[in-house]
Amino acid sequence: MSLSRQRVLELESLCRSFRIDLIRLLYRIQTGHPGGSLSCTEIITTLYQEKMNIRDPLDPGRDRFILSKGHAAPMLYLNLAQKGFFPKSELSSLRQYGSILQGHPCAHKTPGVEVSTGPLGLGLSAALGVALSAKFLGQEYATYVLLGDGELQEGCIWETAMAAAKFAPRKLIAIVDHNHVQLDGTNDEVMPLGDLSRKFSSFGWQVFSCSGHNISALSDTIDQANTVIGKPCVILAETVKGKGISFMEGKSAWNGKPLALAEYNAAIQELGGVNYD
Ligand SMILES: Cc1ncc(C[n+]2csc(CCOP(=O)(O)OP(=O)(O)O)c2C)c(N)n1
Ligand SMILES: [Mg+2]
């Protein structure tokens, strides 16, 4: 069922406060990846705060999420804290020595992180395994995996794409954060991806497309993907790297750059936050 207007407004407001929190956290530690965290804000938030069945993080029937583009970890942590997986006070320890919140997701340290990620390309094969486990154990959970578009240049993505079609997990839903930009340029400059829709469908996947910043469209598309049983699905979510902060939007330079004070102030102002640093 489509989300009510009221619920969409609530989730949009949550995304705005996640963006502000993200910028504060990254400014304070002077490291991290703003661009790729801002492009997937609505995707991760719609999944965690609306779509996924994760009331009990230890329930074997819970839906699974794997952040294959592990550099967007802070956006995952903000969502996990909002869901109550750990206290929000832990967020300020992001990327500190000994913290439960490492720079990339670590399943051994962070409650709610299903699979450790960071080296790009590996999350899809892990997700296929998790999804096949549901099939063999008779569980009905969905397995979601979020991929970067630059990440799709890794060869093992396509090996897994082939294997997923052959082994046919019950519910494997990959979402591509299709922001057209990677670490040091656009996808087209570095290694063109071609027609992703045709590529995935020729590998035997069911393909959906939507805006990755429109919560209502994301919600509807995730619902549609959930009706497909026994065929892997991919949602090509059209996004903007650095979304919400005009001087970062579409710029590979903001893949992993610390914010200077003036940039921090401008970003917080644009997001409508109060600057208390
Ligand atoms: C195997 C591997 N190579 C390089 C990196 C360094 N790295 C971190 S972010 C990034 C760019 C990723 O681009 P993309 O997949 O498009 O993600 P997004 O644009 O969503 O941030 C790279 C190359 C990595 N994490 N893993
Ligand atoms: Mg990208």
The H or E element containing residue 210 is strand 206-211
Residues with CB under 6 A from ligand 1: 35-36, 39, 69, 71, 118-121, 148-151, 177, 179, 181-183, 241, 255
Going 67 to 219 to 229 to 233, the CA torsion angle's sign is negative
Q: CB under 8 Å to 222, separation ≥6 — which residues?
A: 46, 47, 51, 173, 235
pLDDT at 57 over 90: no
Q: What 8-state DSSP symbol labels residue 246?
A: T
User: In the predicted model, what is the mean pLDDT of the chain?
Assistant: 97
pLDDT band at 277 (very low <50, low <70, confident <90, very high): low
By the 8 A CB rule, do 240 and 179 touch?
Answer: yes
- CA–centroid distance, residue 59 to ligand 1 (Å): 32
pLDDT at 274 over 80: no
- CA–centroid distance, residue 39 to ligand 2 (Å): 9
More confident residue, 277 or 236: 236
Distance of CA 79 to CAs 16, 111, 136, 156, 260, Å? 13, 12, 30, 28, 26
Mutate to test the pocket of ligand 1, among 151, 187, 213 (most ligand atoms within 8 A of CB): 151
Closest ligand to Cα 148: 1
269 C-beta neighbours (distance < 10 Å), count: 11
pLDDT at 151 over 70: yes
Q: ∠83-87-89 over CA atoms, to 5°?
A: 130
Distance CA 215, CA 218 (A): 5
Q: ∠251-252-257 over CA atoms, to 5°?
A: 100
Structural domain includes residue 259: yes
Going 269 to 72 to 151 to 239, the CA torsion angle's sign is negative
Distance CA 206, CA 199 (A): 11
pLDDT digits over 207-237, tens only?
999 999 999 999 999 999 999 999 999 999 9
pLDDT at 34 over 80: yes
| Domain span holding position 23 | 5-271
- CA–centroid distance, residue 19 to ligand 2 (Å): 18
Q: Can you tell me whether residue 158 is helix, strand or coil?
A: helix
Residue 237 belongs to domain with CATH number: 3.40.50.970
pLDDT at 276 over 70: no
Q: Can you tell me whether residue 238 is helix, strand or coil?
A: strand
By the 8 A CB rule, do 33 and 256 touch?
Answer: yes
Give me the pLDDT at residue 1, please: 82
pLDDT at 41 over 60: yes
Quickly tell me which residue has 């395994």 as its tokens: 129
- CA–centroid distance, residue 33 to ligand 1 (Å): 10
Structural domain includes residue 277: no
Structural domains of the chain, count: 1
Distance CA 127, CA 176 (A): 14
Q: CB under 8 Å to 188, separation ≥6 — which residues?
A: 180
Structural domain includes residue 276: no
pLDDT digits over 66-79, tens only?
999 999 999 999 99
Mutate to test the pocket of ligand 1, among 38, 153, 181, 182 (most ligand atoms within 8 A of CB): 182
pLDDT digits over 126-150, tens only?
999 999 999 999 999 999 999 999 9
